[in-house]
Amino acid sequence: MKLALILQYLDFLGTVVFAITGLLAARRKQLDLFGAIVIAMVTAIGGGTLRDLIIGVPVFWTQNDLYIYIVVITTILFFFMARLHRLPVKLLLFLDALGLAVFTVIGTQKAAELGFSDPIAIMTGVMTGVVGGMIRDVLVGEIPLVLRKEIYATASFVGASLLLGLGHLEMEQDVAIVLAILVTMALRVWAIVYKIELPVFISYQEPKASAKSPIDSDPPA
Amino acid sequence: MKLALILQYLDFLGTVVFAITGLLAARRKQLDLFGAIVIAMVTAIGGGTLRDLIIGVPVFWTQNDLYIYIVVITTILFFFMARLHRLPVKLLLFLDALGLAVFTVIGTQKAAELGFSDPIAIMTGVMTGVVGGMIRDVLVGEIPLVLRKEIYATASFVGASLLLGLGHLEMEQDVAIVLAILVTMALRVWAIVYKIELPVFISYQEPKASAKSPIDSDPPA
Amino acid sequence: MKLALILQYLDFLGTVVFAITGLLAARRKQLDLFGAIVIAMVTAIGGGTLRDLIIGVPVFWTQNDLYIYIVVITTILFFFMARLHRLPVKLLLFLDALGLAVFTVIGTQKAAELGFSDPIAIMTGVMTGVVGGMIRDVLVGEIPLVLRKEIYATASFVGASLLLGLGHLEMEQDVAIVLAILVTMALRVWAIVYKIELPVFISYQEPKASAKSPIDSDPPA
């Protein structure tokens, strides 16, 4: 099947791009090469790993060595390249959006094919797209970007929902996949370009340096 | 069976309350709506997810969509409500204690019924009660409250042990469950009200800003 | 089989030592006894738990209560001992290297015996050795030491590769295991003693307090 093959290549491309975002996080914290490989690995395969554990299938990278090779080679290559050359930041942001879209679609598809219901398939799709980046950020000591900024998980959510919705409308699967990927990417790129953000909590008061309880004190009514 | 049904409702209530504590953590960090949903989700279903993975049964929320709907609806509702109204903090603390107790009992019960030994069942019970809150705190960049303050995991541990102990004494299961829930809650509420804490490490010296090694230097003898 | 038994004892020893490093991290943050037990538990059994989930076998400590007892007793004992006595830091560093080596070899072996390919077995070996410590550091709010300092994951990686390489050379398994453990330890101890580190990213500019994007801005070419 032709689209399946393209999706496979896009999956590898997504793995490369996510590994690079891991590498860049490692660089911000001045980690060494091995630390960078660990972060890149977690970023690239973390989401899919959690997805496979939760839907109860063999973890994808244990069935195909290629993913590990891709991450390790990408990281080593870019680790040294990043010292010499300026990385194409805008291209990377664009490719990161593509990676998010592809991972989301693959994750959603995988769960749906196993017969999980729509909300579960959407959960696993979003998980595949965002969890790797979340662990990356936690490991380098930052509040996950996914939670803080711009439309990221939201784009993933819309893409996953669209894929399933189009499927229920009996649209041909290939077309639905392409559309879901394009919409996810478009939404993400649009959010980056116009710095669109979701509504944020209105802050009534400066949060304290260290909160006392999970049930924080409330703003005066 | 009547208690099973009540336990089911309490489980849903616990899910609501844990989602709200996730939402409150998200508010402290001024996350957007989607970030709040992610944190609420992790807080409410994280513990049970890890438990199910470890005891090797299908992850509970993949078998019943309701949990996901509960978290999403709770978060959206309270996200906007929290802008207008003061949240009933004391009630929430009390409900959080109830959630902890119910999650602990359900987790312990589930492992025990699968034939796991007492220490394992206690581990999975405590895990069900506290892991969601731990991931919540890590995601918003705080040292988990569970580790820092008051009797939280301890209450969960006592409740899980009590449930199994009463079972060995051949107490009727329903009574044991009710007792374990009440004792866990009582211990937690008592700790909150009287600010009871477990013994803490006596600090011999100011900890350094960034430790050099997992094997920290020791205080002079 | 004699080596299998020795390996079993070394595994328990590794569990004790990793629990103690968890305890020490808890002390740096002045956690209470129960917090210390949680951190010690995660440090000692976290890596093996993730390994077993990923290779799809029952989680080791759910099959043998002993691990849980070891962690709890070790933590309680050293929690109070650490108030009275200076802990033997150098011995602990040495034992931590032994723990890393043993965990790595056990993890690699386990995956290889299940028929996973070399890269997967190396991944699971390294994971067994380092993931517990990574979660420990994240929980106490630090960037994992494994990522920051000295040759740690690298030693684990070399040990895992050596074990598999010697196996392919048809060396007797017992000898290969002993060699892999010794080399991992030697590398780690050598790195500690001479403060050897892997190449680190050259920093072109002061990293900003809070990064804006996973795709960080780049140094001028």
Query: Which chain B residues are Cβ-neighbours of C21 within 8 angstroms?
Result: 214-215
| Best of B18, B20, B31, B87 to mutate (most A CBs within 10 Å, chain A) | B31
Q: Which helix (H) or strand (E) holds C22?
A: helix C2-28
- DSSP H helical ranges for chain B: 2-28, 33-55, 66-84, 89-113, 118-139, 145-148, 153-168, 173-194
Q: Is the dihedral of CA B205, B207, B211, B216 positive or negative?
A: positive
Domain assignment present for residue B205? The answer is no
**Chain A residue with the nearest C-alpha to that of C157:** A34
Could you tell me if residue B217 is inside a domain? no
The pTM assigned to this predicted structure is: 0.85
Check whether A201 has a pLDDT greater than 70: no
* Residue in A closest to B36 by C-alpha: A147
pLDDT: which is higher, B116 or A218: B116
Does residue B209 lie in a domain region? no
Q: Does A152 fall in a domain?
A: yes
Which residues does A contribute to its contact with B (CB < 8 Å)?
53-56, 116-117, 119-120, 123, 130, 134, 138, 141-144, 146-148, 151, 153-154, 157, 197-203, 207, 210-221
CA distance B89 to C187: 53
> Searching chain B, which residue's CA lies closest to the CA of residue A219?
B86
Confidence check: pLDDT of B179 > 70: yes
Q: Which domain holds residue A138?
A: 2-194
B86 lies in some domain: yes
Cβ contacts of residue C131 below 8 Å, gap of 6+? C46, C47, C50, C51
Q: Are A201 and B49 a contacting pair at CB < 8 A?
A: no
- Tens of pLDDT, residue by residue over A89-123, are 778 888 888 999 999 999 999 999 999 999 999 99
pLDDT band at A39, cuts 50/70/90?
A: very high
ipTM topping 0.95? no
Best of A18, A38, A188 to substitute, by most chain C Cβ atoms within 10 angstroms, is: A38
How many domains does chain B divide into?
1
Q: Name the residue facing C24 among B153, B157, B214 (closest C-beta).
A: B214
Q: Is residue A53 part of a domain?
A: yes
CA neighbor of B96 nearest in space, from B54, B130, B72? B130
Q: Are B140 and A143 in contact (CB under 8 A)?
A: yes
Question: What is the per-residue pLDDT across C114-128, written as a single tens digit (0 to 9) for each?
Answer: 999 999 999 999 999
pLDDT of A59 higher than 70: yes
CA dist B217 → A44, A175, B211, C6, C43 (Å): 36, 61, 9, 31, 19
Please give the pLDDT value at position A208.
42
Domain presence at residue B143: yes
Instruction: Decide if B8 is inside a domain.
Output: yes
Which DSSP category does B61 fall into? G
* Chains with at least 3 CB pairs less than 8 angstroms from chain B: A, C
Mutate to test the interface with A, among B24, B53, B62 (most CBs of A within 10 A): B62
CA–CA separation, A168 and C60 (whole Å): 42
> Between chains, do C201 and A142 touch, taking CB under 8 Å as contact?
no
Closest CA relative to residue C12, chosen from C121, C98, C133: C98
Which residue stretches of chain C have pLDDT < 50?
202-221
Query: Is C216 within 8 Å of A32 when comparing Cβ atoms?
Result: no
